């Protein structure tokens, strides 16, 4: 199988990932924090080391505010519902490119009766780029939050989040970044980019296993509801959307108002985090910029093949430098799902057809509802594999 | 039960029946799997004979082309688009109101068949004493075979297409070896003892692609009913131990001796007690396609010639394309066949790929997609 579906989840993972997970399972897979015995302590330490490593990787000032999540969707729900559940009447700015893990929580807050929010979806240009100035123009007196992605999962286009972060800070807004397609390939600096909430998956370019992800919650976000004062009298509190056991402070009737425990109710995925730790280490050791260059080279090769061939349709900019390792195309005469099935069936090539959970993006580029064929190479794809893919596309297009 | 047995007088007269036999029948439960040509005849005869409880499962709705052979239905059912199982229950209640008839409109699959057989903890269905085959595809048969062997329930296999039919009774080998039939006359080989794997998708002709003669289905269905009654009476020695193959046009009636299949083979099901169809390891699965009114159907394993990938499998693309042309516009290349079909008045587009997977456009329901696939490709 030739795997070109890294935007969904990366494959293969470096062997160290499975090794780290097996090791943890074999020796240290106790429930962290819940007991003082040495295995529990080792598991807790493992979590804490990875937390710190991730915080440093994203240049987050306080690693305790980095909470583990089960995927990027989980992290985005925590972030969006966390800051907005007390913010009735607040205005939120997002973009048409967003994934359903952003659009749907926002939509449900916008349509929920009573404490609903007001929502603006800023559109992109024909290439799939968001102009930060359009975001600035959308700001209203009641705007509270800007939520957007750093790179599109449909077009791969890289957005200028540093510029948007600056705007957000100038207007005293919270800025939440969905780094699903960028964490592990594009530099992310929480402080320099003025990011208040960073959601990331562990299982894509950070090369960890599925079931991992995380959220950084900056200090400009509303404070947790303190356990002693109960809820209700904190109009602008950050709400945990999952409450439960935290391994400490069990006497308190409500969730302890301390990070990371505030948002980490329940037994954490220590085995997954051990894998994520190894994946992250691989990324750190192998120079992210080289991975980006490699993936952009692959994308450019695909673009060069299809851009001027009228059997194909290319979406997004012709320059791979404007993208992470993702490109969407269609083959004329084929539904994307049919073409992808042929790639799998006759050529053993994995790509992803459809809407990629981003219906507004496909509406914008005119591919709704059939969608497109998304090709997303990763760090381990070779030029030879790419040649096989291009040949297959050629044969199918006929 | 204080029912009068008068209505069963003519069969009670038979030496093999008697009043005792009749009471046994009234106290038993039969599952009729599928309610098409085979199933309607099975259900009709078993209801008339006084099997106490019938569970009838079918996912389909009645269509005009069913009336040629599916004896319980009429034109009004077609006009009202009634589910087959529901219509059958209504008709049968008018034929024999003494018995209980449970109708289920659902796709039969690995997650639900044991429950419908009353074999899972907390199942709302009574435990069945026999499974009668009225289905139109091999996947469901192999699943029924798994259930039969796992739980020691006789499974009466039957199938008919064109002018050909086959019938065979499986008295399964059980784990403990203590089922009443295992001493005498002895258990019979299961479907997987005989053919370990299912035929490749698209290779077996279906009634919807090559046609079927009404009476051949009735004959096979009635042969199934005979074996079912023997089983429910506990008269296992009378069960025909052979597989009967008939072709009513060629006038061939063959009995295949398959008793040795169990001994000579290494059946994963009977011998190793591996129930790969129940476990969902073999068979097909469906997913609704992102953004589309379409369902993708893929095969896991368990077909001859289809592994995880086989680049062509056992599919004969040209032949399938020819068959599909009788139903609508077909375009094909070496990678896929696309057919525009009208089924029960609704338009569908079926795209078939070389490994047997398919995309059915025009529905989001896996039931419908499976039904279209079973009818026009053959599963
Ligand atoms: C842009 C974007 N956001 C969010 C997600 C959700 O990530 P996860 O699958 O980890 O929940 C994805 C995943 O495809 C994505 O591409
Ligand atoms: Zn067997």
The CATH number for A215's domain is: 3.40.640.10
- The residue of chain B nearest to residue A344, with distances taken between CA atoms, is B309
Whether residue A275 is found in the same domain as residue A299? no
Integer CA distances (angstroms), A164 to A123, A136, B291, in order: 14, 8, 31
Q: How far apart are CA A310 and CA A127, in angstroms?
A: 19
Mean pLDDT across B365-369: 91
B194 within domain boundaries: yes
The more confident residue out of A85 and A328 is A328
Q: Which residues are CB-contacts of A32 (< 8 A; sequence separation ≥ 6)?
A: A40, A41, A43, A44, A46, A47, A247, A268, A270
* Cis bond upstream, residue A12 (ω within 30): yes
B270 within domain boundaries: no
Residue B341 has pLDDT above 90, yes or no: yes
Write down the ipTM of this complex: 0.79
Q: Does the annotation count B207 as an active-site position? A: yes
Q: What pLDDT score was predicted for residue A113?
A: 62
Residue B340 structural domain = 284-376
Whether residue B212 is found in the same domain as residue B345? no
Q: What percent of chain B has pLDDT over 70?
A: 96
B83 within domain boundaries: yes
Among the bound ligands, name the one nearest to the CA of residue B273. Answer: 2
Whether residue B341 is found in the same domain as residue B233? no
B64: CATH: 3.40.50.720
B296 within domain boundaries: yes
Residue A114 has pLDDT above 60, yes or no: no
Whether residue B159 is found in the same domain as residue B243? yes
Whether residue B251 is found in the same domain as residue B363? no
- Residue B1, min C-alpha distance to chain A (Å): 55
- The residue of chain B nearest to residue A353, with distances taken between CA atoms, is B290
Sheet with B252-256: strands ordered across = B100-105, B53-58, B29-33, B130-133, B155-161, B164-170, B243-247, B252-256
Collect all residues of chain A within an 8 Å Cβ-Cβ radius of residue B334: 346
Whether residue B107 is found in the same domain as residue B75? yes
| pLDDT grade for A57, boundaries at 50, 70 and 90 | very high
Hey, are the CB atoms on A353 and B290 less than 8 Å from each other?
A: yes
B58 within domain boundaries: yes
Final residue belonging to a domain, choices B220, B236, B264: B264
Q: Which residues of A touch B (CB under 8 A)?
A: 335, 337-338, 341-342, 345-346, 348, 353-357, 359, 362, 368-371, 396, 398
Collect all residues of chain B within an 8 Å Cβ-Cβ radius of residue A335: 292, 351, 359, 361
Residue B21 has pLDDT above 60, yes or no: yes
- pLDDT tens profile A176-193: 999 999 999 999 999 999
CA B262 / ligand 2 centre spacing (Å): 6
Whether residue B243 is found in the same domain as residue B289? no
| Pocket of ligand 1 contains residue A206 by CB under 6 Å | no
Final residue belonging to a domain, choices A263, A282, A301: A282
CA geometry: angle at A280 spanning A278 and A281, to 5°? Answer: 65
Taken in order B210, B214, B216, B219, the sign of the CA dihedral is positive
Q: How far is CA A60 from the centre of its chain?
A: 17
| pLDDT grade for A228, boundaries at 50, 70 and 90 | very low
* Closest-CA residue to B214 (of B33, B37, B75, B17): B37
Whether residue B355 is found in the same domain as residue B299? yes
Q: Which residues are CB-contacts of A119 (< 8 A; sequence separation ≥ 6)?
A: A91, A92, A94, A106, A107, A109, A110
Whether residue A277 is found in the same domain as residue A297? no
Whether residue A241 is found in the same domain as residue A311? no
Final residue belonging to a domain, choices A251, A282, A313: A282
Which ligand 1 atom sits closest to the C-alpha of A73? 11
B276 within domain boundaries: no
Hey, are the CB atoms on A338 and B290 less than 8 Å from each other?
A: no
Residue A237 has pLDDT above 90, yes or no: no
Hey, are the CB atoms on A341 and B309 less than 8 Å from each other?
A: no
3-state SS, chain B, equals CCCCCHHHHHHHCCCCCHHHHHHHHHCCEEEEECCCHHHHHHHHHHHHHCCCEEEEEECCECCHHHCCCCCCCCHHHHHHCCEHHHHHHHHHHHHCCCCEEEEEECCCCCCCHHHHCCCCCCCCCCCCCEEEECCCCHHHHHHHHHHHHHHCCCEEEEEEEECEEEEEEECCCCCCCCCHHHHCCCCCCCHHHHCCCECCCCCCCCHHHHCECHHHHHHHHHHHHHHHHHHHHCCHHHCCCCEEEEECCCCEEEEECCCCHHHHCCCCCCCCCCCCCCCCCCCEEEEECCCCCEEEEEECCCECCECCCCCCCCCCHHHHHHHHHCCCCEEECCCEEEEEEEECCEEEEEEEECCCCEEEECCCCHHHHHHHHHHHCCC
Closest CA to ligand 1's atom 7: A72
Whether residue B372 is found in the same domain as residue B244? no
Query: Do residues B163 and B240 touch, judged by C-beta distance below 8 A?
Result: no
| pLDDT grade for A39, boundaries at 50, 70 and 90 | confident
CA geometry: angle at B221 spanning B217 and B227, to 5°? Answer: 150
Whether residue A265 is found in the same domain as residue A300? no
Whether residue A239 is found in the same domain as residue A374? no
* Closest-CA residue to B230 (of B171, B178, B176, B177): B171
Whether residue A378 is found in the same domain as residue A255? no
Structure token digits, residue B235: 């008269």
Integer CA distances (angstroms), A188 to A97, A160, A194, A200, B313, in order: 19, 11, 10, 11, 48
Whether residue A203 is found in the same domain as residue A65? yes
Which of these ranges, A173-177, A378-382, B365-369, has the smallest mean pLDDT?
A: B365-369
Whether residue A246 is found in the same domain as residue A378? no
DSSP state of A3: E
Whether residue A196 is found in the same domain as residue A58? yes
Q: Hey, how many other C-beta atoms are within 10 angstroms of the C-beta on A290? A: 10
Number of domains comprising chain B: 2
B271 within domain boundaries: no
B278 within domain boundaries: no
Integer CA distances (angstroms), A7 to A152, A201, A325, in order: 10, 11, 8
- pLDDT tens profile B89-118: 999 999 999 999 999 999 999 999 999 999
Residue A297 has pLDDT above 60, yes or no: yes
Hey, are the CB atoms on A341 and B296 less than 8 Å from each other?
A: yes
| pLDDT grade for A35, boundaries at 50, 70 and 90 | low
Q: What pLDDT score was predicted for residue B314?
A: 61
Residue A362 structural domain = 2-9+287-397
DSSP state of A186: B
Final residue belonging to a domain, choices A282, A309, A330: A282
Average pLDDT of the residues of chain B: 92
Closest CA to ligand 1's atom 16: A153
Q: What pLDDT score was predicted for residue B283?
A: 84
CA B193 / ligand 2 centre spacing (Å): 4
Catalytic site residue from B207, B267, B269, B270: B207
| Pocket of ligand 1 contains residue A205 by CB under 6 Å | no
Q: What percent of chain A has pLDDT over 90?
A: 81
Whether residue B222 is found in the same domain as residue B337? no
Final residue belonging to a domain, choices B196, B230, B264: B264
Whether residue B250 is found in the same domain as residue B321? no
Whether residue A295 is found in the same domain as residue A210? no
Number of domains comprising chain A: 2
Whether residue B179 is found in the same domain as residue B312? no
A319: CATH: 3.90.1150.10
Q: What pLDDT score was predicted for residue A287?
A: 95
Collect all residues of chain B within an 8 Å Cβ-Cβ radius of residue A396: 335
DSSP state of A376: B
Whether residue A149 is found in the same domain as residue A47? yes
Whether residue A131 is found in the same domain as residue A170? yes
Residue A146 has pLDDT above 70, yes or no: yes
Q: How far apart are the first and last CA of chain A?
A: 22
Whether residue B145 is found in the same domain as residue B190? yes
* Cis bond upstream, residue A369 (ω within 30): yes
Final residue belonging to a domain, choices B211, B234, B264: B264
Collect all residues of chain A within an 8 Å Cβ-Cβ radius of residue B351: 335, 338, 341
Residue B34 has pLDDT above 50, yes or no: yes
């Amino acid at each position: 199988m030739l795997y070109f579906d890294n935007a969904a989840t990366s494959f293969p993972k470096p062997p160290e990932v499975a090794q780290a997970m097996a090791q943890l399972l074999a020796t240290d897979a106790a429930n962290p924090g819940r007991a003082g015995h040495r295995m529990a302590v080792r598991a807790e330490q493992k979590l804490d080391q990875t937390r710190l490593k991730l915080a440093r990787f994203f240049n987050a000032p306080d690693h305790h505010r980095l909470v583990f999540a089960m995927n990027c969707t989980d992290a985005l729900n925590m972030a969006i519902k966390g800051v907005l559940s007390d913010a009735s009447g607040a205005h939120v700015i997002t973009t048409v490119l967003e994934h359903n893990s952003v659009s749907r929580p926002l939509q449900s807050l916008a349509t929920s009766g009573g404490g609903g929010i007001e929502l603006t979806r800023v559109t992109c240009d024909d290439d799939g780029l968001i102009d930060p100035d359009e975001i600035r123009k959308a700001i209203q007196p009641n705007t509270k939050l800007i939520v957007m992605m750093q790179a599109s999962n449909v077009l791969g286009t890289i957005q200028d989040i540093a510029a948007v972060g600056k705007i957000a800070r100038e207007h005293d807004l919270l800025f939440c970044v969905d780094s699903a397609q960028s964490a592990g390939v594009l530099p992310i600096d929480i402080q320099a980019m003025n990011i208040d909430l960073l959601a990331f998956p562990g299982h894509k370019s950070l090369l960890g296993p599925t079931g991992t992800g995380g959220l950084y919650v900056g200090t400009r976000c509303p404070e947790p509801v303190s356990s002693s004062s109960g809820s209700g009298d904190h109009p602008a509190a950050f709400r945990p959307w999952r409450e439960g056991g935290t391994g400490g402070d069990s006497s308190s009737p409500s969730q302890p108002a301390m990070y990371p425990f505030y948002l980490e109710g329940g037994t954490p995925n220590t085995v997954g985090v051990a894998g994520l730790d190894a994946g992250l280490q691989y990324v750190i050791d192998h120079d992210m910029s080289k991975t980006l260059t490699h993936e952009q080279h692959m994308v450019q090769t695909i673009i060069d093949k299809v851009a001027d061939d009228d059997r194909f349709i290319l979406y997004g900019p012709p320059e791979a430098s404007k993208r992470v390792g993702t490109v969407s195309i269609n083959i004329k005469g084929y539904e994307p799902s049919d073409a992808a099935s042929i790639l799998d069936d006759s050529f053993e090539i994995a790509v992803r057809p459809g809407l990629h959970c981003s219906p507004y993006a496909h509406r914008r580029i005119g591919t709704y509802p059939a969608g497109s064929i998304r090709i997303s190479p990763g760090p381990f794809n070779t030029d030879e594999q790419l040649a096989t893919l291009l040949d297959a596309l050629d044969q199918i297009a006929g | 039960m204080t029912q009068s047995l008068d209505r069963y007088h003519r069969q009670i007269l038979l030496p093999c029946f008697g009043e005792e036999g009749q009471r046994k029948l009234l106290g038993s439960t039969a599952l009729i799997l599928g309610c098409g040509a085979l199933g309607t005849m099975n259900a009709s005869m078993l209801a008339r004979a006084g099997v106490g409880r019938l569970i009838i499962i079918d996912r389909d709705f009645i269509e005009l082309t069913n009336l040629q052979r599916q004896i319980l239905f009429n034109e009004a059912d077609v006009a009202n688009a009634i589910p087959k199982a529901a219509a059958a229950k209504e008709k049968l209640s008018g034929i024999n109101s003494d018995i209980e008839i449970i109708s289920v409109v659902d796709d039969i699959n690995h997650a639900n068949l044991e429950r419908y057989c009353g074999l899972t903890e907390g199942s709302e269905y009574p435990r069945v004493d026999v499974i009668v085959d009225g289905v139109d595809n091999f996947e469901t048969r192999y699943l029924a075979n798994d259930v039969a062997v796992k739980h020691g329930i006789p499974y009466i296999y039957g199938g008919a297409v064109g002018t050909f039919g086959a019938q065979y009774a499986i008295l399964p080998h059980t784990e403990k070896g203590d089922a009443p039939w295992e001493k005498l006359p002895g258990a019979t080989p299961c479907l997987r003892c005989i053919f370990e794997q299912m035929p490749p998708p698209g290779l077996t002709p279906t009634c919807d692609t090559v046609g079927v003669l009404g009476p051949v289905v009735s004959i096979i269905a009635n042969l199934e009913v005979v074996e079912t009654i023997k089983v429910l009476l506990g008269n296992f020695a009378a069960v025909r131990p052979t597989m009967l193959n008939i072709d009513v046009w060629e006038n061939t009636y063959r009995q295949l001796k398959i008793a040795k299949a169990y001994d000579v083979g290494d059946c994963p099901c009977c011998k190793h007690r591996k129930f790969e169809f129940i476990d969902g390891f073999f068979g097909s699965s469906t997913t609704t396609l992102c953004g589309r009114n379409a369902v993708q159907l893929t095969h896991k394993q368990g077909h001859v010639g289809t592994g995880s990938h086989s680049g062509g499998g056992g599919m004969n693309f040209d032949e399938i394309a020819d068959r599909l042309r009788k139903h609508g516009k077909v375009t094909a290349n070496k990678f896929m066949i696309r057919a525009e079909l009208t089924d029960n008045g609704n338009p569908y587009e079926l795209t078939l790929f070389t490994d047997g997977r398919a995309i059915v456009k025009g529905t989001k329901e896996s039931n419908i997609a499976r039904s279209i696939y079973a009818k026009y490709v053959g599963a």
